Each structure stands twice: as C-alpha cells, then as structure tokens.
Structure 1
Amino acid sequence: MKQDLSLLIQALDSSISGIILTDNQQPDNPIIYCNKSFERMTGYARHEIIGHNCRFLQKEDRNQKERLLLRKAVEDGAECVVEIRNYQKNGTLFWNELYMSPIKNEQGVVCYFIGVQNDITRRKKAEMELLHQQEIMESQIRQRTKSLKESEDYLSSIVQTVRESLVVLDPAFKVLSINDHFLKTFKVSKEETEGKLLYELGNGQWDIPKLKELLENILPTNNPVEEFEVEHDFPHIGKKLMLLNAHRIELEGQYKDRILIAIEDITDRREIERRKDDFLSIASHELKTPLTTIKGYVQIMQRLMPDSADDKFKDILRKTGIYVERLNSLIAELLDMSRIQTGNIELHKEEFDFDKAIHEAVENIQAATKTHRIIISGKATNNYAGDESHIVQVINNLLSNAVKYAPESNEVKVYLSRVSNFLKVAVTDAGMGIKIEDQKRIFDRFFRVGEIQQRFPGMGIGLYVCDQIIKNHGGTLWVESEPGKGSTFSFTLPLEERNTNER
C-alpha cells in the first residue's frame, strides 16, 4: 500500500498539468495537496499553497463569472470546466483551464475535489492577437507617432523636474543624456558626462563593481531591474547609498537599444531609519526598568489595600494596573520589533502540546473580555516543535485584534486543523473588514489603515511582529477580508521537514 501511494505521488508530480486536492470536509475547502507542476505554474512554494482556498490565485480580480460557476459546482458537488484568469506570485497573469471533479465516499458524500489545471495563456493570447492585432497595431502606431511628435518637449521638461537622477545609456554604456538632478547630486557638468563611458565619469569614480554587475550580468537577463542597492564612496562627495531602477528600452527607430537608469539617493533616509530604530530600541529598554518598578508598586498597593478602602480609590488603582499592563505590552512589542530589525530575535524551539497551548491562550483572552464569546473548534496537533511563547504571542495578538476591531460583534471563531503536513490556525471576526489595497501592507511595520487609525489608536507593530515570528518558524501568515464582512487571519506551520528534493 505504501509503495502504491509513493508511486501515485511520483506519477502526479511527473504530470505536466497542475494537480490539486481540496478537502470539502473542512471549512472553506482548503488545498491539501499540490503537485510540482502546480508550484511551477503559479510561482508559489508548497508551504504558501497548502491551507489556502483556490481563490487566492485570482488576487484582486474577483469579479469573474467563472468564480460563480466554480462556487456552484462545489455547492452541488458537480464537475466543472472553466477558463479563468489567475495570477502568479509575482503578479503575472496566466489563463488557467481548470477541470474540477468531486471525489465521493461510499455513501455518495463529496469529501474532496480534484482540480487539473493547464496554463493556456499562449492559446488565449494567440486568439486575442488574431482578432485584434491589425486594429491595435495601427491604432498604436498612430497614437505613438502623434504622441512622440507632440510630447517630446513636454516629456523632456518632466524628466528635468523629476527628483531622481536619470541617466540614458547606449548599449556600450556611453552616456547619451542626463537630467539636472544627476548633475546637482553628483556635482558634474553635461560636458563631463554626455558622450563619456559611464564607468569613466569623474576620473573613474563610477567604476563601481556592483553597478557593472547590474548592467552587464543582471539587466540582460532580467528586464527591468528594480530597487537594486549600490553603496559607493565617491572621493569628492562622500559615501552614497543609492537605489537603482534600470530598464532596457527596446523600441524601434530613434529610441532603439537604450538603457534608462533612475538613481535615488537614499543615504539620508537610511540613516534616519537607523537612528529611529536605535532610538526605539534604547527608549524601550530605558522604559522597561521604571515600568517594571511601577508595576510592582501597583501590585503591592493592591495586595495591601484594606477592605475598608474607598470604592473610588479601588477603581482608580484597578484602572492604573490595566493601563500599566497595556504600556508594558506596547514596550514588549517595541522590543520585539527592535530585535527583529537587528536580527537578534531568538527562537527557543522545544516540543509542546500545540492544541493545549492554543486552548489556554483562548481561555486567557476570554477571561479578559466580557463583550465577545471566543469559539474554538477543530484539532491541529498535540506535538509541535517550536517556540511556544512566540506562537502564543501570535495567537494573543490575533485574538486581541479580533475583539478590538469588531466592537459591534459578539463572537470570534478560532479553527484548528491539519492540512497535509502543515498545521493551520484561522481566527475569524465579524468586524469592519479590510480593503484589498490595504491588505497588501497590513503586515508592514508601522502601517495602519486610515479608518482604523481614526477609531482605534495604535502603532501598527503587532501584525508585523506576528508575521516575522511565523516566517521564522517556516510558516505563512495571511488575511482574507472584505469591508463590512469581517476578516480571517490564518497561518500555517510545517509539522516536519521535507526532503531537500521535494518542494
């Protein structure tokens, strides 16, 4: 039986079609298996796929009628064939021809769905080009010719006012033109630059190994190149940290075979960020000691307070304890963020009962809130090797957010499951929800959604720390949400190391 299963998996991994299995017995029909062709087709690694619903491949493109056909097929337990627009991890569109079929048990109940997927992007592209090629090409040529004639001076003036240094090179890396910002930033003149080899500018100041690597090795194979960092000590203007965007222009005619480089000087910005991180680290450490003392005094006062004390005094002392604890949590988050930024965060991995730890965390949060009922269901594992305190910190943060940002609701759901060789935790609230454009940045440091910032004060650190903790455990944290319909924050963690020849 084991040999047959191994042979079956090898056969599926050898298929040129992408193949997935979803578990219809679990909420949201999560993916529990994918073969290697599916990974290659989508650009996602296996640990980023397992546990997700298939809709994550459509990203923001949610209004396709094919999605309704798929949803109805799942509800009816029926077969379905659709051609749908999907997006790779890097955002590239590809057309997917999906054959979906239900897998039923002996009682006729649909337990799983199998999806066989083929990338038909080339075919769709050919069809569209055959229908529209002549009309589009003629229209583009007319528009481009008119645009070039009317806009050359206008575009030139825009280039000169851009607050980045712009350089145009020929294929031999000779400077064809530069803007005024380049001249001011690097203290050169047009006579010293235009017509000269880039590497020879300023008596060889631009003979920079990383710049050569970008132009000669990376750009020819990866067009365009974005946010490429180059640090160099210029003899006359000092050390500069530059962010380069490079693009090969492959038009016909006058502008054929050009290389455009945009150079952003981020020296000052990076120094400000470093100082800010240093300040936060120092401030957090300095605040920790007196706060611990204050917390101790408050606890002593609470223990020594006589029964005859005034009720107002008791209430003031109780509220003081609450706010001290909130401040303590905030400082702890700042310290965690500081350790993450400096690479000093440490994981102490030991085996522990994962389900028990989650249940205890839920009980603690439940004891602290009277407005919401936290419902926990499902099972993941009773034996997981990880940093228990950090995992519990993630759960506490997700639950606290679910309660905080859903004040009109009275229920939070926590679902534990095991998906293939991953455990999955999902925390669902019925709160205000998050817009698609904000979901992309929700895990960034210090990012806060505008409406949330107005109603709920905070620093935007918690989700950033949670994301880093999950990543340090080899897992993935993500959010699915719609404005007005609540949010579900989910994460997966690998239960065992896969072989190096497996993805």
Structure 2
Amino acid sequence: MSNTKPTKRLTPASSETLLTLLETLPGALFVVDDAAKIVYANASAQTITGATREDVLGKPLWRGAPQLVSTALYQAVQQTRQTQAPSEVEYVSPVTRTWLHVQLSPTVGGLMVQVHQGRAAARREAPVPQDERLSIEDLNGLFSRIGVLTPEGIVLEINEVPLAEARVRREEVIGYPLAETRWWSCSPTSQEQLCAAIARASRGETVRFEAVVHLREGLDRHLEVVITPHRDADHHIAYLIIAGIDITERKRAEAELHALIDAIPQLVWITRPDGSHDSFNQRWRDYTGLSTAEAQGEGWMQCLHPEDRSRVRSAWQHAVQTGGGYETELRLRQGTTGEYRWFLARAMPARGETGQILKWFGTSTDIEEQKRVEQQLKESQESLRVLAETVPQQVWVRRPDGLYEYTNQRWRDYTGLTLEHIQNDRRVHLQFIHPDDQDGHLVHMQHALDTGAMFEYEQRLKQCQTGEYRWFLSRAMPMRDEAGQILKWFGTNTDIEEQKRTEEALRQSQERVNVLMNSSIIGIFFAEDEQVVEANETYLRMTGYSREDLCEGRMNWLHMTPPEYLARTLEAQQELATQQSLTPYEKEYVCKDGSCLPVLVGGVILEHHPLQAIGFVLDNSARKELEQRKDDFISMASHELRNPLTALKLHTTLLHRQLAKQGLQGSAPALSSMETQINKVTRLVEELLDVSKIQAGRLEYVWETVDLDALLREITDTVQQTHPSHRILVRGAVQTSLMADRDRLGQVFTNLLSNAVKYSPSAEAVEMDLSTSAETVTIRVQDHGLGIPREKRDKIFDRFYRVADPRQKAIPGLGMGLYIVAEIVKHYGGTITVESEPGKGSTFQVMLPRKRT
C-alpha cells in the first residue's frame, strides 16, 4: 500500500467556502498582484473605499483605495515585496482621520493587505521607524505646496494648499501621477520640466527649477520647486519630497524692476554676488545685439574692444573682491554697425540686512561725444608738438637770430643734444655736419636768413651713437607776421640715405645695362606685343635690319619667324606671359635679306611695364653647323660600319661551321665571345643609324597588328635569358592589340628592361606592371638601383646624354637608347615619364593610346 497522502483539491464548493470566509473576515482585505493592482477586495474593503467591487478591481492600490494611501503604507508594501516576509504598519488615514492597522502578507504573484480600523491607543510598533514617516498633519501645517511621490511620480500624500487653490479633492489626486494633475498638465512646458525633474530625482539627485502652474481659470502661480529623494535603509530611493514655494509676487516685482530699468536711458546690467552678469535691460540688448543668454556670465565681454578687455576684467574683479564701487571707461561695439563707442561704466552693490551683497546694479553711459570733444581739445592744444613728434623727419624751429627754439625727439635722439644745449649756442649743431658739407651749409643758411628765401641743402649728418654719416635733405621755410617780418624758421631734415644709395645703384645699374646693350655677342631687343620697339646694334646686325627700320616700325618678331617655328614661338610667348620669364629655346629668324639665322632666344617681362618684354638672342648658327656635321658623321659612320660588320658576322658564322666539321670544339668559346662583341657593336651601330634617321625624320615604321601581351612576354623571356642575374617580375595584363610596328615597340621595352638591369647591379629583381583603361595602356618598369638626381631627370631623354655619376659612367653606353625610346613613344602619341630617387631606383612609365583592331 502506498503511504502517500492524497492531495486535497479545491472544488467549487470549497472555493465558495473560502470566499465566504474572506468576506466575513474582520477588517478590509485587498489582494494585489506584482504590479500593485487590486485583484480582490472583500465587502469591508468596499466599505472603506466607498466604491463597488467593479470600481476598484484592476486599479492600482494607490488609485483604487486613496483613503489608505500614505508614505508609511507605500514603504511597507515595498519592504514586504523585497523581503517576502509578513509585515505590518500603523498610521492615521489622511481622509477618514481614523487609525489604521495594516497587515501585509506575501502571496504567489502579489500581496494580501488586511486593514483594521482602530484608535491610536491600539497601535503597535510599526515596521517603518516613526522618524522616517511623514504624515499629512506634518504637511498641512506648512504654507508651501508639499507632496510625497513615489520614484515614478505617483502622488502618495499632498498638503491642503495646492488642493484648495486648484479646488480639487484629495481623492482626485492620490494615486495619480503628479504630472497629470490639472495645475501641471495645463502647461506642456511646465509638465515637461516636472517629468524631467522627477526622473533626475529618482536617480538620487536633488533638483531645483522654476515653473508656472495653472491652478484654475484666472489663477496662475510661478513656483520655485525643489524635489528631494529619500532613501531607505538599503540606500534605495524610497520616495520623493516635492516642495513648491510661490514666487509669483517676487517675479512680478522683478518684472516691474526690469520695466523700470528698461525705461532708463543708460545701458543697465545686473550681476550676481560673484560678479557674473545675470540680466540686461532692453536698451543694452538692442545696442549690443546680444540676447540675455548670450551675454550671461562673461559672454558680455565679447562686446568690449579687444584693447579694453584685460583692463576692464581686472577692474571689475577688484570691485567684486573688495565690495567697493566700480567705475571705468570702456568701448562697446554696436551690434548692427560694428562701431565702437565710449561708455562710462559704473556699478554699486545692493546689500542685505546683514551686509552681504545680494546683487550688483550697473549702468553704462554713452560718453562718445564727450571723448571726441576732449580729443579735439587735446589735439588743438598740442597740434604742433604732435605733428613734429610724429612726422618721420627731424623737425626744428629757429628764431631769426639763428638760435634753436625747439627740436623734436627724433632730432635730439639722432644728435644726442638737449634743448638746453641748442638754445644757447647757434653753432652747436655744426659738429654733426660732415666736414665737407659744413661750408655749403653755412652759405645756404646765411643766404636764407639774409633774403628770407627758402633754405634747401643736401648734407651728411652724423649719428651720435654710431658716428655714422647719413644723407639728409634739409629744408626750412620762414613764418612771417602781418607786416612780413620773419618770426620763426620751421625746418625739417629728411633722411635720403636710401634714395642716395638707390640713385648710386641706379647709376651703376645703368652702366651695366649700357655694357650689356653694347655687347657684340648678345642681341637684345624690347618688344611690345609683336612689335620690336628697341634693340641693340648686335641684334640689328644679326637680323640685317637698320636703326631706321627699327624706328619706322618695320621689325615684327612674328613676321621674322619661319612657319615651321611659329607654333613653338607662340608657345614660348604664352610661357612668358604666365611665368614672367622664358626658358631659352631654339628657333630661326628670317633676316631682312630673306636668309634664315639659327638663334637661341630667352626673355623676361619688365616688372614695371607688364606690356613690354625684353629678349636675349644668341647666334646659334655655329653650334647648329657643328651639330649638322656631327649628324652627318654619325649617319656616314653608321652606314659605313654596317658593311664590314655584316661581313664579320658572315665570316664568324662560316668559321663556326668549319670548326664544327673539323671537330675543333675547343675554339668555340673564343668564337662565341667574338660573336657577342660583334653583336654589341652591331647594336650600337643600329642605334646610331636610328638616331641619324630620327634627326633626318626618316625613321621607318611598319603598321601591323601587335598583341601587346605576347610581345611583352617574348621581350621579358629574352631579357631574362640574357640577364640571368635578375628576376624579371611581370604583374597584370593589358589584353590589348595595337596597330604599330612590332619591332619598334619591342625596341622600347627591351631598352627599358635592359637599362633597369644595368643600372641596378646590386638588386635581385626588376618589376614590370601592366594596366589598361578605356583610353590608354600603361606599362611601368621599376628597378631598385642607382636612381637619378631630380635636376637631371628631364635630360636623360636627350641625345647622347648620360648622368655624370662615377658609378653610372662605369656602365657602358652612349646615351642613345632613351632618346630613341622617347622618339618612338612620341611617334605613337604616347608619353614616357620617370620617377626616381638616388639610391632607391627608378620607375619609367609608358602610356600609349589604346586603339582596338
């Protein structure tokens, strides 16, 4: 048999019995869920609340039973939830004024709250200490508006002041969020302020703010509100105390004060005791263009003139620290015009009964006109002295007898003499005049004194400290009375040392220009637009024109330019116009007799005459003739060398076969070395021949379809076999066919790869990067070798040019390869550029226009 006892099940009959039992329990009984909503209330509970079961079920306990709501009950509910242990509390109902004894027991999913009504004598010790509870009796004795809220803002208790003003019953407020009461909800702004303050207070912060509440029609109040959080023994926020003090009258008084302040003609400002500016009258805001918010604190300082800020700040801080009066003159900026005007700023502190400073009241009075009058008066009184002290000249005044009456500070600093020195000795100043100039000075001065004519003389005066002489222009004019008698002589000494030096430099420069213009080597001409307006004899001799031709305007450099050089000449003129100077370039002149003269031309724009340019011309015919002879020699030599080289190659081939037939293999290495050298000479001759053809414009090209990827692979394999010391890495592909000469393109990339290997002897690899776009094909060849200095990069594509570096000179070559490469790339409408850094290698980039077959 089983020993297990049968489990009792709750039948409908037993459930009805339980409900009957609960209905007959003494006192009111509420069962609430975890959200504190009422799920059951017995008949006694309905009697206490004065509402039917349907009215209270589903409502929060604080809203369904407002007669029971108090801080003590709220704390007891929170404690029972946290500890899950039965508890009890006693307190006076704020509504019925009867003593309530409440027992709380945890249930599955909520609490059971049993309320017994009694008298104060029957109460037992409450679980919440009495000194931590706040009853409605404590609140009603206060004139302030005070309430107790849950951390969520639900009203637990409230005193009679706000209820009476709003004419609402306590039951209409208790258990509801304070923000939804009539006096807060009628103002969305105030309601938002309250909600934000409750949220901050529920996190433990004491919050203060001002707000306007609408209690009822025609009754608004301005409140200063403080919300203080209260914590339980576990330091959790238990409830919030909200207190509101009516400051309506104070605000009205402040408004009246501000209205009075706005009527004052001065700019008025008020600061807090610590000196930070708080408010400003309308006249101040209109003048500065700043709002009160922008000007508060030290924001008003931005209106001060920058030169006054430090002084004004120090004076104001001193007044605040000492509590004394404040007065200073300052300049304030007008917000609309940006103009500064002078103001007299004054401030006095307003003190309380105990002497502490409550506020500072200040005014700023416009004194701009007063300052202007003062300045004009000062200027009129000291006009002569100010003028004499501010002009850059030395100023002096002498009486008719020749004695000095006044000198400015500049004169005294230069000579080292005081007024006492010069007022007693009319010749004391002569010690500062250069000995060679003293006689002339005396003669001119005496003539002026005798005749009354203006005194003017250039002389050298000694600086007292350094002993250095400088040139001055001394002038003096007499001041006469109504009768024409000379009263005083007003004189100045103007420093013309720089002018003298400039004149001397100009004289020397003119001499150099004359030497240059008279040069028999350099032709010089001045041009305005296309017309030659001046030229030296050498230029005229070069071109065959006469001075008469020049004067009659028959020399035009554009007409003197052959058609084949016109484009290059116009390009040079554009360079001259944009850069103010011209890189020398080669061209030809058509001389007066129709012959052509090769010349080298450079030029600059005159700084003070932008429409006029000066050109420098060198006769280039001798060099051109030498180059032609060199080209002729190269052409002849390359043609003459081809035949014996061809014969040598043929004979070495036959010799190779004969030795092979005779079994003399031992001679093969020597023969191979001979063939290698013959091939090198052949390549040099072919390059010479190509250079000769390029110069003559007769380099041949064959048009055919070239698979660029296949060509580059073939060239790479060949160079790799020829130079096994380096790895040639190819990245990417172009997948493009071009209409071009396969051999000429091969010549370009073979030369670039071979150069990359030659000029990177210590590196292990050479890279070739291939890429393509819709318009162009780009091939980059990079080495990690010697590199090229920046100033020599543009020259490496010149004919026969080689970098003058001992390490590179040791590498064989005649400087023809890159010249030929550049010409071939140019022929196909492409470009070749180089990026290089000494010691880090070079990267050559070839860009060819893409043409699909």
Q: Which residue of 2 aligns with 1:467?
A: 822
Read off the aligned partner of 1:153 and give its amino acid letter: E
Cα 1:277/1:172, change in 2 over 3 Å? closer
Shift of 1:161: 4.7
RMSD: 3.6
Residues 528 and 612 in structure 2, CA contact (< 8 A), matched pair in contact too: yes
Counterpart pick for 2:559 among 194, 202, 210: 210
- In structure 2, distance between residues paired with 1:386 and 1:187: 47
User: Aligned pair in 2 of structure 1 residues 230, 187: CA closer, same or farther (>3 Å)?
Assistant: closer
Deviation, structure 1 residue 154: 3.5
Q: CA deviation at 1:229?
A: 2.8
The reply to whether residue 454 of structure 1 matches residue 812 of structure 2 is no
CA shift for structure 1 position 265? 1.4
Letter in 1 for 2:845: S
- The answer on 1:178 being equivalent to 2:530 is no
Pairwise CA distance, 1:365: 1.1
What is the Cα deviation at residue 315 of structure 1?
Answer: 2.5
The amino acid that maps onto 1:326 is K
SS at match of 1:493: strand
In the alignment, which of 194, 198, 205 is matched to residue 550 of structure 2? Answer: 198
Q: Is the 8 A contact 1:167 1:262 kept in 2?
A: yes
Question: Counterpart in 1 of 2:709?
Answer: 355
Largest Rg, 1 or 2: 2
1:450 match: secondary structure: coil
Aligned 8 A contact 1:475 1:494 in 2: yes
Identity %: 30
Q: 1:154 to 1:366 in 2, by over 3 A?
A: same
Displacement of 1:333 after TM fit?
Answer: 0.9
**Partners of 1:199 and 1:262 in 2: CA distance:** 20
Q: Contact between 2:544 and 2:591, CA under 8 Å: does it hold in 1?
A: no
Q: Secondary structure at the match of 1:430?
A: coil
Aligned to 1:251: 608
Summarize the Cα distance change of 1:472–1:171 in structure 2 as closer, same or farther, 3 Å threshold: closer
Which amino acid letter does the alignment assign opposite residue 597 of structure 2? K
In the alignment, what sits opposite 2:590? Answer: 232
**Distance in 1, Cα, partners of 2:528 & 2:850:** 53
Residues 234-313 of structure 1: pairs in structure 2 closer than 5 A: 235=593, 240-251=597-608, 258-306=612-660, 308-309=663-664, 311=666, 313=667
The offset of 1:208, in angstroms, is 7.6
Task: Give the aligned residue type for 2:764.
Answer: N
Report the residue type matching 1:211 in the other structure: M
Distance 1:247 1:197, change over 3 A: farther
Query: Which amino acid letter does the alignment assign opposite residue 653 of structure 2?
Result: Q
1:395 pairs with 740, 749, 752, which one?
Answer: 749
Amino acid at match of 1:251: H
Q: Would the aligned equivalents of 1:291 and 1:328 in 2 still touch at CA under 8 Å?
A: yes
Report what 2:768 is aligned to. Answer: 414
TM-score normalised per structure 1:
0.60
- Show the 5 A alignment for 1:160-179: 160-161=518-519, 163-168=521-526, 176=534, 178=536
Aligned to 2:779: 425
Deviations 1:423-454 (A, max 9, x none): 11111111100011111111111111001552
Alpha-carbon distance between aligned partners in 2 of 1:163 and 1:265, rounded to the nearest angstrom: 8
Structure 1 contact 477–491 (Cα < 8 Å) conserved: yes
Q: CA deviation at 1:409?
A: 1.5
Residue type of the partner of 1:198?
L
Matching residue of 2:506: 148
| Pair 1:488 & 2:843 matched | yes
Query: What amino acid is aligned across from residue 283 of structure 1 in structure 2?
Result: A
Alignment of 1:340 with 2:697, yes or no, is: no
* SS of residue paired to 1:148: helix
| CA distance in 2 between partners of 1:326 and 1:197 (Å) | 58
1:157 match: 515
User: What amino acid is aligned across from residue 674 of structure 2 in structure 1?
Assistant: T
Please tell me the residue identity of whatever aligns with 2:560: L
* Mapped contact 2:561–2:590 kept (Cα < 8 A): no
1:231 alignment partner, SS class: strand
1:324-354 Cα deviation digits (max 9, x unpaired): 0001111111111122111112322222221
Contact (CA 8 Å) 2:530, 2:556: kept in 1 or not?
Answer: no
Contact 1:170 1:176 in 2 (8 A): no
Secondary structure, in 3 states, of the residue corresponding to 1:211? coil
- When residues 382 and 212 of structure 1 are mapped into structure 2, their CA distance, relative to the original with a 3 A threshold, is closer
CA distance in 1, matches of 2:573, 2:765: 55
Q: Provide the C-alpha distance between the structure 2 equivalents of 1:390 and 1:212, rounded to a whole number of angstroms.
A: 35
Assess, with a 3 A threshold, how the Cα gap between structure 1 residues 323 and 400 changes in structure 2: closer, same or farther.
Answer: same
Q: Which amino acid aligns with 1:367?
A: Q
Q: Indicate how the Cα distance of structure 1 residues 428 and 146 shifts in structure 2: closer, same or farther if over 3 A, else same.
A: farther
Cα separation, partners in 2 of 1:173 and 1:250, compared to 1, 3 Å: farther
CA distance in 1, matches of 2:532, 2:698: 44
In 2, Cα distance between equivalents of 1:323 and 1:220 = 50
- The structure richer in helix per residue is 1
Question: Match for 1:400: what amino acid?
Answer: S
CA shift, 1:284, in A, is 0.9
For residue 440 of structure 1, what is the aligned residue in structure 2? 794
Report the equivalent of 1:38: none
8 Å CA contact retained: 1:366, 1:374: yes
Change (3 A) 1:357 1:144: farther
User: Secondary structure, in 3 states, of the residue corresponding to 1:458?
Assistant: coil
Deviation of 1:173 (Å) = 5.7
Structure 2 unmatched ranges of 5 or more? 1-497
Residues 173 and 197 in structure 1, CA contact (< 8 A), matched pair in contact too? no
Aligned residue among 678, 681, 685 for 1:324: 678
CA separation of 1:345 and 1:171: change in aligned 2, threshold 3 A? closer
* CA contact 2:561–2:588 (8 Å) conserved in 1: no
Q: Is the 8 A contact 1:247 1:261 kept in 2?
A: yes
Give the AA of the match of 1:303.
R
Q: Deviations over 1:354-396 (max 9, x none)?
A: 1111111111111112211111221111423221111111111
Please say if residues 586 and 598 of structure 2, whose CA atoms lie closer than 8 Å, have aligned partners that are also in contact. Answer: no
Q: Which residue of 2 aligns with 1:122?
A: none
Give the counterpart of 2:730 among 360, 371, 376: 376
- Whether contact under 8 Å (2:759, 2:808) holds in the other structure is no
Q: Which amino acid aligns with 1:231?
A: Y
* Distance in structure 2 (CA, Å) of the matches to 1:467 and 1:422: 17
Partner SS, residue 725 of structure 2: coil
Superposition map of 1:18-57 within 5 A:
none
- Which of 1 and 2 has higher RCO (CA within 8 Å, sep 6+)? 1
Maintained 8 Å contact 2:588/2:596 = no
Alpha-carbon shift at residue 287 of structure 1 (Å): 1.1
Question: Is the CA contact 1:250–1:257 (under 8 Å) kept in the aligned structure 2?
Answer: no
Q: Distance in 1 between matches of 2:773 and 2:501?
A: 53
Change (3 A) 1:145 1:481: farther
- Secondary structure of 1:303's counterpart equals helix
1:198 is displaced (CA, Å) by 1.4
> Is contact 1:356-1:382 (8 Å) kept?
no
What's the TM-score, normalizing by structure 2? 0.36
Paired residue for 1:315?
Answer: 669
